[in-house]
């Protein structure tokens, strides 16, 4: 198939601003290329594709980043800034739609979902977050009632957030495991990775690390500088080691040295890429039993779970995770989350979308 992948309108690919969507985009593009498909990727100006994705055609658009839904209130209205990337992406996508069998949307936003019934070339949506806004919940429910096959989700916990007409299509995620080196001998170091923003719960990981007397290496884009400063001030000096945002090759080399990765989301995380990345390096995970990570962490096999927002339970989960076999963590990832297996699941879904709907009709008046 010829497939157009429309990227997130939050930051350029490779910047880290798009969070886990960037990693997902690279995995599915590389995997679909390996399976013989022709891909074009529409992304923000400044985007760079990794070498394994270079066979894809890269289309770039300049514009203003779209405000992210997870940083707004549940009752917020749909907002599109002047000169916004989102409408510019879709103006170009619709202008070129006839060149493709299917358009794969990675943006968690209202406009592309609303467009779905009104466009000749089928649009498929890989939903990257759980429920964070009433407007998004509403448009997903409305369009899913008409075209349930057009939506895929990472985990059952994520899909359960939405009003769907039937069982969801779950595709998980995928990783190029050749870029993750197994590290059998850790250092006395805990790890945490993600965007430095309140919904990620870094303060809980910092408090537990301080209580255990272990340093905490922190990787990620500092999206909220004031929040980062508050977290650092809440624990003894030297507890946090700020490592910044690193590309995958450098991140995995440092991440693998950790004894345990802490995962502390304050919201319903759709998947939890860094959880799998850590396990691919042999690092067990101590995580809150919330959202996608609660499905990924298998107690005793690759980590331990704790009651959400319970610091004592999280500290105990770290102690349990320290005893997990690191080789078992790597084996579990190899069985379930390879880039190849992910691309096959995406391919099956997109082929069904491309062949099953030829002339979608817009919904009638209410």
Instruction: Give the model's pLDDT for residue 307.
Output: 97
Instruction: Give the model's pLDDT for residue 239.
Output: 97
The position carrying tokens 């399976």 is 35
Instruction: Give the model's pLDDT for residue 20.
Output: 82
- Extract the tokens encoding 166: 């039937």
Instruction: Give the model's pLDDT for residue 363.
Output: 38
Other beta carbons within 10 Å of 298: 17
144-150's contacts with Cβ under 8 Å and 24+ in sequence apart are 146/116, 146/117, 146/360, 146/363, 147/116, 147/117, 147/357, 147/360, 149/352, 149/353, 149/356, 149/357, 150/116, 150/122, 150/123, 150/124, 150/125, 150/353, 150/357
Instruction: Give the model's pLDDT for residue 208.
Output: 98
Instruction: Give the model's pLDDT for residue 183.
Output: 96
Angle at which helix 202-212 crosses helix 311-321, to 10 degrees, equals 60
Burial class of 306 by CB neighbour count within 10 A (0 to 12, 13 to 18, 19+): buried
355 vs 366: CA distance, rounded Å: 29
Burial class of 213 by CB neighbour count within 10 A (0 to 12, 13 to 18, 19+): exposed
Instruction: Give the model's pLDDT for residue 248.
Output: 84
Work out whether the CA dihedral 215, 216, 222, 225 comes out positive or negative: negative
- Phi, psi of 5, deg, nearest 5: -100, 120
Is there a contact between 216 and 240 (Cβ–Cβ < 8 Å)?
yes
196 vs 211: CA distance, rounded Å: 21
Domains of the chain from N-terminus onward = 2-174+339-356 (3.40.50.2000), 177-336 (3.40.50.2000)
- Extract the tokens encoding 129: 């977050």
DSSP 290-317: -SHHHHH--BTTTEEEE-TT-HHHHHHH
Name the nearest CA neighbour of 11 among 188, 281, 264, 223.
223
For the chain of 366 residues, list the mean pLDDT of each consecutive stretch of 10: 97 85 94 98 96 96 93 92 97 98 97 97 96 96 97 95 96 93 97 93 98 97 94 97 91 96 91 94 97 93 97 98 97 93 96 72 36
DSSP 57-98: EEEEE--BPPPPGGGS-TTPPP---TTBHHHHHHHHHHHTGG
Instruction: Give the model's pLDDT for residue 19.
Output: 76
């Amino acid at each position: 198939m010829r497939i157009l992948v429309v990227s997130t309108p939050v930051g350029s690919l490779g910047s880290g601003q798009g969070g886990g969507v960037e990693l997902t985009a690279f995995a599915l593009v590389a995997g679909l290329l390996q399976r013989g498909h022709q891909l074009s990727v529409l992304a923000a100006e400044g985007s760079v594709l990794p070498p394994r994705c270079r066979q894809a055609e890269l289309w770039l658009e300049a514009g203003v980043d779209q405000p992210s839904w997870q940083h707004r209130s549940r009752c917020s209205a749909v907002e599109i800034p002047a000169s916004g990337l989102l409408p510019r992406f879709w103006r170009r996508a619709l202008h070129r739609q006839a060149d493709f069998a299917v358009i794969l949307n990675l943006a968690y936003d209202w406009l592309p979902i609303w467009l779905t019934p009104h466009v000749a070339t089928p649009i498929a949506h890989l939903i990257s977050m759980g429920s964070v806004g009433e407007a998004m919940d509403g448009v997903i429910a409305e369009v899913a009632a008409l075209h349930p096959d057009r939506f895929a989700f990472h985990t059952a916990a994520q899909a359960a957030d939405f009003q769907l007409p039937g069982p969801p299509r779950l595709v998980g995620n995928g990783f190029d495991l050749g870029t993750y080196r197994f590290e059998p001998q850790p250092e006395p170091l805990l790890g945490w990775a993600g965007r430095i923003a309140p919904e990620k719960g870094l303060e809980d990981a910092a408090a537990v690390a301080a209580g255990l007397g272990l340093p905490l290496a922190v990787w990620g884009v500092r999206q909220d500088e004031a929040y980062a400063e508050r977290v650092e001030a809440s624990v003894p000096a030297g507890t946090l080691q700020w490592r910044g945002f690193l590309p995958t090759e450098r991140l995995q080399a440092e991440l693998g040295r950790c004894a345990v990765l802490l995962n502390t989301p304050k919201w319903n995380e759709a998947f939890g890429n860094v959880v799998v990345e850590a396990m691919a390096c042999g690092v067990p995970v101590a995580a809150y039993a919330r959202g996608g990570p609660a499905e990924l962490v298998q107690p005793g096999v690759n980590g331990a779970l704790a009651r959400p927002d319970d610091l004592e339970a999280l500290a105990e989960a770290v102690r349990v995770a320290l005893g997990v076999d690191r080789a078992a963590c790597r084996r579990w990832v190899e069985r379930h989350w390879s880039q190849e297996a992910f691309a096959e699941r995406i391919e099956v879904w997109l082929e069904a979308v491309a062949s099953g709907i030829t002339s979608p009709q817009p919904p009638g008046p209410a």
